[in-house]
Each structure stands twice: as C-alpha cells, then as structure tokens.
Structure 1
C-alpha cells in the first residue's frame, strides 16, 4: 500500500454526490415514508439479519483474515468512522453490502474477494464504510425490505397500503442507486489512488478471473465515454432510463464515469487535501 493520509474533520457533506443529496430530500418528502421507516424498526429486520449473518458467515478479526481487518481499521481512521463488524460470506456472487442502523455490519462475498487485489479489497471495504459515514444504512434496510413492507401495509389497510407502498418503491430505488455514487467517493478518499477505483469497476463489469491480466483500464475509460455519447437522441435516453429504473445499483460503467468526472473537475483533490495528515499505523 502507498503511504496513506487521514482526513481529520472530514464530514459526509464534504464529498456526498449532489444526486444523492437531492434524492434523499425527495425520498423524505414522499407521503408515507416516515411510516415505512417506523415499520422497519417495529419488525426488527435489523436484528434478524444480524443473527442470520453471525450464524452463516465468518467474522473478520486480527486473527481471522488479518489483512482485511487491517484495511477496515485504516479506512475507519481515514474516514472517521467507528469500526463496524466485517464478515466474509461463501457466495458465488460478486457482492458487498452493509446492514444495520443501530449496529451496522459489513459483508463481502468470497467471490468478490477472489476477483480483487489487495488495494481493490480495501476500496470495496471503504465503499461500505462510506455508506455508514453518509448514514445510508437505515434507508438501505427499507430498500432491501420494500416488497415485504408493501405486503404488510396492504394487509393492514385492505390493499390501500399496497398502492402507497408501490409509489415509494421507485423513489427508493432511485435513492439507492445515487447513494452508491457517494460511497464510491468515500472509497476513493480512503485508498487515495484513482487507478484502484477504475480497476474495481472494470472487474465488476466484466472481470473473468482467468482473463484479468488481459484487461486494460484505458480501454475501459474509452468505453465510458462511448456510453456517454449514446445520449444523442431522446430514444437512447429513454432506453437508458428503462434499463436502469428497477436496479438497486448503477451500472459499473456509470459509477466509473461519475467518479472520473469528480476527479477531472477537481472535487477529489479539493476534499483529499483537507487537513491531510499521515496515517499512523
């Protein structure tokens, strides 16, 4: 790892993506959202997920996967986040996620870890720490349980609640995708190397493990710009909306585009220079 720096006094507002800020405000303004939040807490989804996770996965510590534990501790120091629990799950899917509002914990799948080098693993861990830093985790619980909650509301209100809940699903998914852009910025502030971020997105977009040596980051950046150019017609823009609207995460290429733009426009340099101090390990 290169010599890393901490960012004392860093706040989520220093780096949050404006789309995330706007989508969060829009979500809070949706009628019935406060009731949805109340039901999440009432039905204790957080506790259920935590117990299931502890029973099914392996917790990272200074003796269990010590490198991952080190990356977690470095990320917490850099971003100013209390250390959450971190788990590794045996899973063929490339995934990492954070659950829990009162006691957040992070889970990373074994397949994703197998795909990434050491710096890239830290990027993924710090992406999840970014969700905690930005206080995304409560809304994430709602997003993950939206279908169950709509069914509960429907039974309680003879179907009316289902209609109200369905109206929340799209703005909630919209927020979910845009929250990812803020977490990507947090991860970059932690690993402090844009090339690492681009490699993660490239691998998540098409990283066959046997072909990693044949991947080229500069070609991936060219592909990003080609995708941007497809906004030439209203029909292309409509197609982009249709293939995105029900996703929980933006396409990897779009995440790379937004982070690349933040770097190019000077946002990353501005924030990463805030009272930077050497990381004491």
Structure 2
C-alpha cells in the first residue's frame, strides 16, 4: 500500500507562510531565468502587448459558459481545499477556479492579466483532500511565479516554428530558443510541485499525487518506495541506448516525467529545503525588488553542476570521464545557465518584432486576434 509515514497527521495545523515570496519554492534554474526575464527593461510590456493579440476574456467566458465556477455553493469541498492552499501560501486574493468535464487528471492556469485555474472532474473524483490541496497549491505556485506571462512566449514560438518550418535558418533559430525555454518550463514544473508541497505540507500526499498522475489510480496496490525505486532506475539504469531514448523523450517535452518529479521533490525534502521554509527561513515578497539576476544565474549554474555530478545516467557518466571529472563538466553545463540572458533577449527581440507586425496588420484590417495562444497549462494530466 502507499505509505503515509512521512506526512503530518490529518488534523495537524498547517503553517501560514506569511509574506512568502515565490522565490522560496522556485527551482534554481527556474528562478534564475525568471529573475533575468524580470530585469529585462520593458520585457513584460512586450509580452502583454503580445498577449493583446489574443482574447483572454474569451477564454474566461468559455469556461463561464461550459464549466462550473467553484465557490462555497458549488463544489464546496474543492473550494475549502483551495482556501486552505491559498492560506498556507499567503495568497491574498483567490484566482477564479473552474471545474470542467474530463476523464483525465488535469489542471492548468490560464491567462495573464487575471489568471484563473481549471481542474478536471477526474481531479475532484479521484484525489483525496490532501492530494487535491497539493494540486491546487501547484497551480497557485504557477500563478504566483508569473509563469503564465512567459509561457505565452513559448506558445507563440511553437506556432512560429511550425509556420517557418520551410525556412531552415529561421526555424533553426526559433527551435534553439524553444529548446532553452522548454528546459526552463520543465524546471518551472518542479517549482510548482514544491509550491504544492508547501500548500499542503504533507509530503506523502504530494508523492501520491504524482503516483496517480503516472497511472496509479488505485493506491491500495501501489507502493511509494517502489515508485521512488523506479525513479532511481530511470535515472541510472540501462546503457547509452537508454540515455539516448531519454533525450528523445524529454528534449521537446514541456513536462518532466512523473518519476523524475517525485525524485526531485523527495530530494528537496531530504536536503532540508522544505523544512527550512516551514521553519520560517524563506525569502519575503517585500525583498523581491532586491533580487540579483547574477546571483540567481550563478545558483542556476550550481544547480546544473550538482545535478550532473549526482546523475547516474550512463551518458552523463561517460561525459564526466571524457571531461576529466565532474567539476569540469559541471562548469561546462553550468555555463548554459549563464547564457540565459542571450536567449531571453532573442525572445524579447522576436516578440517585439512580431507584436509590431501584428499591430500594423490590425490597424490595416481593423481586427484583432482571438486564437488563444495565451493558455498556460501545468500539464498535470500525466499524459
């Protein structure tokens, strides 16, 4: 059976993390990218101009028309878990929350000016209170970190890459930017998992949630330790052929695989990061303006270096030997984090150019866009 031995008792009072900054749960690679993006002059204005080409109000209306808006009268159980998650993360104003019909475990955060959250009916039916609280905290983590703002760019670049596939040079440049942004988004998912854990403050429930996303609907037949053993086998088992298959599986994916997410969350707990935050040792929102991009990028580089040094993957082991030690290779990998500003700047330039062209077309035709590239999903469907 799934074990709950490292989670608090159901009646334990959750700690309200007063004034907590999203930097407290952001993965170092995610945090470094976000800090550099926020420091780019006018970047948010460009993104918001971009988003103006799509109709956020249309998305909200579509859910208002065809989904259930959660409050104390509709899905009161879900609403109560939502309030509890928001209280733990000190979210002053609840985003709108909708439940939509779907047999898949799925959740997403949508929008830019006023992000809202959507859950599938499968989440309501298949998740217990603790798992549901962790999932809602995951989505609140996306909203509080501002991931939707930058996910918009990724959605647009994906469309551009498809439209420019006939132009090799342009497509290659876009694909390079997309590859970097997809790597960032995978780390953003790890950040949101940590936010979910801080919201629910129940490690066992957060791991159960990931197990259910991986296909373990009946947890009476699933074992948490065995699931984490899968994660270890995925990381270090097999030979170079398996390493190449993993690259193929993840290089163009927006989401880390569930076993990797479980392993990263377990590592954050075991390394003491989770306990320090619960103990009150966390950055405050009031200090966000003083965050240093150079320090955060250095932390991202250190994170990649540590990850390479720790990995048991056969290909990584080979590269370590060719690189004459984990330190040299770690510096090589960490250097990619230091180049974050380059691809962010390229994305900004491309976004500004496209926004200008779109605005010119709108002036000529008197029309605006509405195809909804602004959707931001957490990808929690386990698909």
In the alignment, the residues of structure 1 paired with residue 266 and residue 189 of structure 2 have an alpha-carbon distance, to the nearest angstrom, of 14
In the alignment, the residues of structure 1 paired with residue 141 and residue 61 of structure 2 have an alpha-carbon distance, to the nearest angstrom, of 23
1:183 to 174, 177, 192: 192
1:222 to 226, 229, 236: 229
- Match status 1:101 vs 2:116: no
Please state whether the residue corresponding to 1:6 is helix, strand or coil: coil
Partner of 1:122: 133
Partner of 1:73: 83
**8 Å CA contact 2:161, 2:174 repeated in 1:** yes
* Matches for 1:111-150 after TM superposition, within 5 Å: 111-150=122-161
- Match status 1:241 vs 2:230: no
**Structure 1: where are the runs of 5+ without partners?**
277-281
In the alignment, the residues of structure 1 paired with residue 224 and residue 156 of structure 2 have an alpha-carbon distance, to the nearest angstrom, of 36
**8 Å CA contact 2:189, 2:255 repeated in 1:** yes
1:199 to 202, 208, 212: 208
TM-score (norm 1): 0.84
Partner of 1:279: none
- Match status 1:57 vs 2:67: yes
* Matches for 1:151-170 after TM superposition, within 5 Å: 164-170=173-179
In 2 relative to 1, CA 248–137 (structure 1 residues): closer, same or farther, beyond 3 Å?
same
In the alignment, the residues of structure 2 paired with residue 95 and residue 180 of structure 1 have an alpha-carbon distance, to the nearest angstrom, of 14
RMSD between superposed Cα atoms in Å: 3.0
Partner of 2:280: 274
- Match status 1:15 vs 2:25: yes
CA shift, 1:204, in A, is 0.8
**8 Å CA contact 2:78, 2:124 repeated in 1:** no
Please state whether the residue corresponding to 2:137 is helix, strand or coil: helix
Tell which has more relative contact order, 1 or 2 (C-alpha 8 A, sep 6+). Answer: 2
Greater Cα offset, 49-58 or 125-134: 49-58
CA shift, 1:98, in A, is 0.3
CA shift, 1:93, in A, is 2.2
Which of structures 1 and 2 has the bigger CA Rg? 2
Please state whether the residue corresponding to 1:63 is helix, strand or coil: coil
Please state whether the residue corresponding to 2:214 is helix, strand or coil: helix
CA shift, 1:147, in A, is 3.6
| Alignment coverage as a number of residue pairs | 268
In the alignment, the residues of structure 1 paired with residue 100 and residue 170 of structure 2 have an alpha-carbon distance, to the nearest angstrom, of 35
CA shift, 1:138, in A, is 1.1
**Structure 2: where are the runs of 5+ without partners?**
1-9, 283-383
CA shift, 1:127, in A, is 0.3
Partner of 2:101: 90
1:41 to 29, 32, 51: 51
In 2 relative to 1, CA 27–207 (structure 1 residues): closer, same or farther, beyond 3 Å?
farther
